[in-house]
Amino acid sequence: DAGVTQSPTHLIKTRGQQVTLRCSPKSGHDTVSWYQQALGQGPQFIFQYYEEEERQRGNFPDRFSGHQFPNYSSELNVNALLLGDSALYLCASSHRDRGTEAFFGQGTRLTVV
């Protein structure tokens, strides 16, 4: 079992560009959550996807959007990047009936210059 995998590992983008981050959940999991971890901060919840729909959303602007595919993998898209979007983006997967048992990926380090 490969666990939760995220790609790419690192990414550098220019302010104003768009970025797509990818996440493959742990085998048997159908729910994917995304978190943003700014430097020196704890992770903050962005949104959660289940059955290809956004089920919950944190306090993030509409520039942050996502998608879940039929195989449960997910993408996080960020438009019009700001310097403040520089962070570690973590994906967590879980089963719909066991939301407390979340497994985290290694994260994608996004740097906006």
Partner 1 sequence: AQSVTQPDIHITVSEGASLELRCNYSYGATPYLFWYVQSPGQGLQLLLKYFSGDTLVQGIKGFEAEFKRSQSSFNLRKPSVHWSDAAEYFCAVFPHYGGSQGNLIFGKGTKLSVKP
Q: Is 96 in the site for partner 1 (CB under 8 A)?
A: yes
Report whether 9 contacts 23 (CB < 8 A).
no
Tell me the number of residues near partner 1 by CB under 8 A: 26
Q: Is 60 in the site for partner 1 (CB under 8 A)?
A: no
Q: Is 42 in the site for partner 1 (CB under 8 A)?
A: yes
DSSP 10-48: EEEE-TT--EEEEEEPPTT--EEEEEEE-TTS--EEEEE
Radius of gyration of the chain (CA): 13
Q: Is 33 in the site for partner 1 (CB under 8 A)?
A: yes
Give the bridge partners for 35, in sequence order: 45, 90
Q: Report the residue from 32, 81, 90, 110 that binds partner 1 according to the rule CB under 8 A.
A: 90
Distance separating alpha carbons of residues 84 and 16, to the nearest angstrom? 12
Distance separating alpha carbons of residues 109 and 9, to the nearest angstrom? 6
Q: Is 7 in the site for partner 1 (CB under 8 A)?
A: no
Point out which span in 17-25, 52-60, 66-74, 76-84 binds partner 1 (CB under 8 A). Answer: 52-60
Please, what is the minimum distance in Å from the beta carbon of residue 99 to partner 1?
4
Q: Is 102 in the site for partner 1 (CB under 8 A)?
A: yes
- Residues in contact with partner 1 by the rule CB under 8 A: 4, 33, 35, 40-45, 48, 55-56, 58, 90, 92, 96-100, 102, 104-107, 109
